[in-house]
């Protein structure tokens, strides 16, 4: 069953690259912070690269003005996430998180089988808002759609 509003973000570790590869736990990422987390099925894929990530880049300052951190996650390795960030000109501060083994994806109950596209198990497209590690808003897309997980939609549904 997928995570529900009012539940805490599960504790798992993710990877990211800054000065070098880092392992970071979700408790450290979410505790004491207001966070917009969005997930994509895959870096460099069409909707993810043409619409989803660019929307969060465009509205990054709007989130920050409201005191909200922005995290992007995909079931890709940290080197792919780093290359994708560079190719998309992701601003400093927008964290690109690798859930390479799908640990957080499974813990959230948001995995999908993309084997028919040669991608294996991936994360469903979603956006959530968490305050101090607790999910306050959650918007999960129907496979193949991009409506409720956009930056615009999430900004409109986060209380001030």
Give 114-158 as a DSSP string: -GGGT--EEEPPEEEEEETTEEEEEEEPPTT--SSSSHHHHHHTS
* Helix-strand-coil split of the chain, %, nearest 5: 30, 30, 40
5 and 138 in contact (C-beta within 8 Å)? yes
Q: What is the pLDDT of residue 150?
A: 98
Contacts with 101 (C-beta within 8 Å, 6 or more apart), sequence order: 75
Q: Is residue 69 within a helix (H) or strand (E), and if so which, with residue range?
A: strand 68-74
Domain ranges of the chain: 13-156
From the candidates 48, 57, 72, 130, give the one annotated as an active-site residue.
Answer: 48
The second-level CATH assignment, the architecture, of 13-156 is 3-Layer(aba) Sandwich (3.40)
Q: Is 48 a catalytic residue?
A: yes
Q: What is the pLDDT of residue 120?
A: 65
Of 32, 52, 59, 67, residue with least CA distance to 156: 59
Count of other CB atoms within 10 angstroms of residue 32: 8
| pLDDT tens, N- to C-terminus, the chain (160 residues) | 899 999 999 999 999 998 889 999 999 999 999 999 999 999 998 899 999 999 999 999 999 999 999 999 999 999 999 999 999 999 999 999 999 999 999 999 999 877 777 776 789 999 999 999 999 999 999 988 999 999 999 999 998 7
């Amino acid at each position: 069953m997928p995570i529900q509003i009012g539940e805490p973000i599960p504790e798992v570790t993710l990877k990211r690259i800054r000065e070098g590869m880092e392992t970071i736990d979700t408790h450290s990422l979410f505790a004491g912070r207001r966070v917009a987390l969005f997930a994509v099925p895959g870096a460099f894929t069409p909707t993810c690269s043409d619409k989803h990530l660019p929307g969060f880049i465009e509205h990054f300052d709007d989130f920050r003005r409201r005191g909200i951190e922005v995290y992007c996650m995909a079931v890709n390795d940290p080197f792919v996430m780093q290359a994708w960030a560079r190719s998309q000109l992701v601003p400093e501060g927008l964290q690109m998180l690798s859930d390479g083994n799908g640990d957080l994806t499974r813990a959230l109950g948001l995995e999908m089988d993309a084997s028919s596209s040669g991608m294996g198990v991936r994360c469903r497209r979603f956006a959530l808002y968490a305050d101090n590690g607790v999910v306050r808003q959650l918007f999960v897309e129907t496979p193949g759609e991009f409506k409720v997980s956009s930056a615009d939609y999430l900004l409109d549904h986060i209380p001030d």
